[in-house]
Amino acid sequence: MTSLTHLERLEAESIHIMREVAAEADKPVMLYSIGKDSAVMLHLAKKAFYPSPPPFPLLHVDTTWKFKAMYELRAKAAQEAGMELLVYHNPEAEERGINPFQHGPLHTDMWKTEGLKQALDKYGFDVAFGGARRDEEKSRAKERVMSFRTSSHGWDPKNQRPELWNLYNARKKKGEGIRCFPISNWTELDIWQYIMKEQIEIVPLYFAEERPTYEYEGGLFMADDLDRLEQAMGTLPEITMRSIRFRTLGCFPLTGAVESSAKTLADVVQETLLTTTSERQGRVIDKDGGDASMEKKKQEGYF
Amino acid sequence: MSDPIYKTDALIAEDIDAYLDQHQNKTMLRFITCGSVDDGKSTLIGRLLYDSKMIFEDQLTALENDSKKVGTQGQEIDFALLVDGLAAEREQGITIDVAYRFFNTEKRKFIVADCPGHEQYTRNMVTGASTADLAVVMIDARKGVLVQTRRHSYICNLIGIKNIVLAVNKMDLVDYSQEVFDKIVADYAKFAEEIGIESFTAMPISGFKGDNITLAPSDNTPWYGGPSLIEHLETVEVLTAQDAEKPFRMPVQWVNRPNLDFRGFSGQIATGAVKPGDAVRVLPSGKTSHVRSIVTYGGDLDEAVAGQSVTLTLTDEIDCSRGNVIAVADNPPEVADQFEATVVWMDDEALLPGRGYWLKLGSQTVSAAVAEPKYEVNVNTMEHLAAKTLALNSIGVAEVTTDKPLVFESYADSRQLGGFILIDKVTNATVAAGMLHFSLRRSQNVHWQAVDINREEHARLKNQTAKVLWFTGLSGSGKSTIANEVEKRLNLMNRHTFLLDGDNIRHGLNKDLGFTDADRVENIRRVGEVAKLMTDAGLIVLTAFISPFRAERQMVRDLLPEGEFVEVFVDTPLEVAERRDVKGLYKKAREGKLKNFTGIDSPYEAPENAEIRVNTVEMSPQEAAAYIIDRIMPLK
């Protein structure tokens, strides 16, 4: 008997976790951000419950500032999985026209952190699946698979439930919630390999192509929506065509691109392995607030 | 420090397809590192990440800056800063939780559980060890085998880790002396034999300088003939490979029923292998059938093995639901409801013997009680101590009784069907982990006698529905007075009732019990059982006990059919009850003459969702009784 490969073990573990939640939660939901980790989560959900469709909806807490290509894949992916797709916009952020240029950290706080809390409360979801991985960031390394949240969505890192063997405690009182991370033990490389092995469709922005770009505060960005860019920045920055791709996807004005010629999955993996900067470096969020910023955001309710 | 054993940049750059092919077929090893703050554990893990190039340039720059700012290694890189994650820990300079790290070599992917080694973090070590294939026990070469080494080794052995690496670290600080190394290994071997560790692999290393981490022997230790740490980690056998050789068992997690034509049972195979056509037995019912197909998203399989998550369909329509176990027909696991187990306590609030906790094992969740421990183990000396309870980080052996039969195996045979957690019914915290040893024979010999006159028949004859009116509240709140008033009124209505209170219970059935928390739990458990027998006989039972703990009231509620337990909260503020002080008990308690008095030096946990609440400040006992009767009618 040959033993399971690491990808087979990771897949089986993630499926086990998703089924535990489906069996024990009152009203679970899968958070869907359209990125590559979300694509893997969705694929795992399809596998976990086949031939049934996954017994929960997808929820996208949207900022309205995502790349166009992401919105295109979103509708298609949900439909193919036979799942309901819920899109939530924080009405206050919408009304106040919160954007990444003028409002800085408030943009993430209002659209994502507040938006997520509002959406969970509105629909009454008690368990929310997220695609966070322990290799992403230091405070995530200690996150549980089932991470308990108070009724005000707070996280207390010193008071986490111990998790032993493959036994997950999903019990909670009414009003309290759980964030569940089925791909906790996957690394970025595992994600790419799995996408390759299972031929999972991802947003084309992960592959290099000639795209319109501009430079802003030392970073390289894609000019995805010229009208909004001009509106938000006052004047249009200088646009140059470059061969770029993205290692991680978020709001287009906040997600740094890398110059690249990686056009296939194998190219992307190759570049990932040979690269010298970490994945989240392209994102602005980890840095404001200094060293412990992600931990702080999580205590406030960010995913 | 770059090395051929790690990620070969050359292959990645030249032939990515070949590299990916190789990487796809890697296996995975999970291990735990145990050691205390000063043993250099975080430094070793930082070194593994650094050497295997799992650290990126931006992280390295941050690390170099941090090393200068808060590091403890002078101007050199402090690898420990890489792994100490949470802000609180960085300030205190210690690791207080379990953190998981990842790295790859050519042959394997590794997941490291980084656990703190202090005695007060025993629970974290047990948590990290529970999923590990291997343990690296670290020793500071300058200090040799210490109390903490014994504790770490004991816990690893208790959790069933068969591969133990004794990493004698900081060899650079003892001039790489073979003599020092050999003496430590000899000391450890003696101790290992005492506690039943069958074998271990010892190696001299320096996490700080990098000796014998990737290549062995290092220039500084030419006398060392064994493998490097990485070489060893790459070749030891993983746990799931052993699990595949055992008899087939799969706990059912979820019944897969997309339409009327398909009924599958989804789960992760705990041990063994399964093929279509295999004869299987569903436990605990014992019904047999055959496997029709092994369904997965990628198509039906010819065989599935331990560790895989699959969906099975059977050839017969037999009852099977979440919590059941599908097993090979001619060699099924045992079913029992009384066990001996090792229990590791993980909560600030100590074990209350007799209290009902949720017990989760595989996909089964049942109500369980832990008896007073047979003994507690001193984790530093391995001595057995007498114990009444288990506090945070204590390990003991005790009998565990469940309210429903459990499908199980001894932990030594199966981590999946022998390891369990206990969950507090009120706070929902995970309060303990446990390992089943064996079932107690008496549970196999006591069977239910089927009776012809059942509880419904008893109640029907009395022309009523059985109920328990459970009065709870502080001493002097008026429970007995109101319960007595309610019983008088029910009696006038020709109802068959019985009132249980402190006087008729504490003087007889429970006269052996005092007022400690443990005795209070047992007191309520017995009252609950008596009340249950009386409802079986068709009676309306009224009970008047302080019953201060939510968990025990919940335990009695769980004993009875849905709707039969009516919690009546006699809500009287402490000042009012104390002012009344009918029996003079508050005065005694305030003077310190009466210990463990509820409301004074023992807590009262008020009900959160009582069916009925009466306020005795606003209502007279007669009004309260009338109000209660209104709420429980028609009683038919």
**ipTM (interface pTM):** 0.89
What percent of chain B lies above the pLDDT cut of 90? 53
Determine the longest span between alpha carbons in chain A, in angstroms. Answer: 65
Superfamily of domain B9-237: P-loop containing nucleotide triphosphate hydrolases (3.40.50.300)
In B252-308, at which residue ranges do the beta strands (DSSP E only) sit?
Answer: 254-259, 262-268, 273-274, 279-283, 287-295, 304-305
B308 to chain A, any CB pair closer than 8 A? The answer is yes
Determine the pLDDT at residue A297: 54
pLDDT tens-place string over residues A172-188: 888 889 999 999 999 88
pLDDT tens-place string over residues A39-59: 999 999 999 999 999 999 999
B67 to chain A, any CB pair closer than 8 A? The answer is no
- The yes-or-no answer to whether B9-237 and B455-632 have a common fold is yes
Please, which pLDDT band fits residue B449 given cuts at 50, 70 and 90? low
- The average pLDDT across B598-613 equals 89
In this model, does residue A139 exceed pLDDT 90? no
Closest CA to B249 of B160, B332, B315, B360: B332
pLDDT tens-place string over residues B460-478: 888 898 999 999 999 889 9
Supply φ then ψ for residue B600, to 5 degrees. Answer: -100, -65
Cβ(B567)–Cβ(B547) below 8 Å: no
Determine the pLDDT at residue B228: 94
Determine the pLDDT at residue B625: 92
Determine the pLDDT at residue A158: 65
Q: What is the CA radius of gyration of chain B?
A: 30
d(CA B27, CA B20): 14
Could you state, in order of their start, the residue ranges of all structural domains in chain B?
9-237, 243-328, 334-445, 455-632
Closest CB to A23: pick one of B17, B322, B428: B322
Q: Which fold has domain B243-328?
A: Elongation Factor Tu (Ef-tu); domain 3 (2.40.30)
Task: Give the tokens for residue A300.
Answer: 């406030």
Determine the pLDDT at residue A236: 85
In B395-466, at which residue ranges do the beta strands (DSSP E only) sit?
Answer: 395-408, 419-423, 430-439
Please confirm whether the linkage preceding B217 is cis (ω < 30° from 0): yes
- The average pLDDT across B34-62 equals 72
Which chain A residues are within 8 Å of B419, Cβ to Cβ? 164-165, 167
Beta bridge partners of B28: B109
In B348-479, at which residue ranges do the beta strands (DSSP E only) sit?
Answer: 356-361, 364-370, 375-377, 384-385, 395-408, 419-423, 430-439, 467-472
Q: Which residue type does A206 have?
A: Y
**Which CATH number fits the domain B334-445, given the four candidates 2.30.40.10, 2.40.30.10, 3.40.50.2300, 3.40.50.300?**
2.40.30.10
Task: Give the tokens for residue B249.
Answer: 């068992």
Determine the pLDDT at residue B95: 46
Cβ(B145)–Cβ(B39) below 8 Å: no
Residue of B nearest to A296 (CA): B87
Residue of B259, B345, B414, B430 to mutate for A, most A C-beta atoms under 10 A: B430
Q: What is the CA radius of gyration of chain A?
A: 19
Determine the pLDDT at residue A299: 55
Determine the pLDDT at residue B14: 76
pLDDT tens-place string over residues A223-238: 888 888 888 778 888 9
Question: pTM of the full predicted structure?
Answer: 0.81
Please, which pLDDT band fits residue A280 given cuts at 50, 70 and 90? very low
Listed in sequence order, the residues at least 6 apart from B186 whose beta carbon sits closer than 8 Å to its beta carbon are: none
pLDDT tens-place string over residues A72-107: 999 899 889 999 999 999 999 888 888 887 787 888
Residue of A2, A3, A14, A146 to mutate for B, most B C-beta atoms under 10 A: A3
Determine the pLDDT at residue A161: 87
pLDDT tens-place string over residues A179-213: 999 999 998 889 999 999 999 999 999 999 999 99
Question: B455-632 maps to which CATH number?
Answer: 3.40.50.300
Place of tokens 């509880």: B455
- The average pLDDT across B38-61 equals 72
Active site residues of B: 547
Closest CA to B214 of B55, B51, B350: B51
Listed in sequence order, the residues at least 6 apart from A233 whose beta carbon sits closer than 8 Å to its beta carbon are: A101
Determine the pLDDT at residue B105: 83
Determine the pLDDT at residue A216: 85
Task: Give the tokens for residue B146.
Answer: 């210490």
List B residues 555-594 in contact with A (Cβ-Cβ < 8 A). none
Closest CA to A92 of A80, A103, A82, A79: A103
Q: Where are the alpha helices (DSSP H) in A91-245?
A: 91-96, 100-103, 105-107, 115-123, 188-198, 226-233
pLDDT tens-place string over residues B313-333: 999 999 999 999 999 999 999
Task: Give the tokens for residue A239.
Answer: 């646009």
Residue B553 in 3-state DSSP? helix
Determine the pLDDT at residue B633: 83
In this model, does residue B382 exceed pLDDT 70? yes
pLDDT tens-place string over residues A102-121: 787 888 888 888 999 999 99
Supply φ then ψ for residue B102, to 5 degrees. Answer: -130, 135
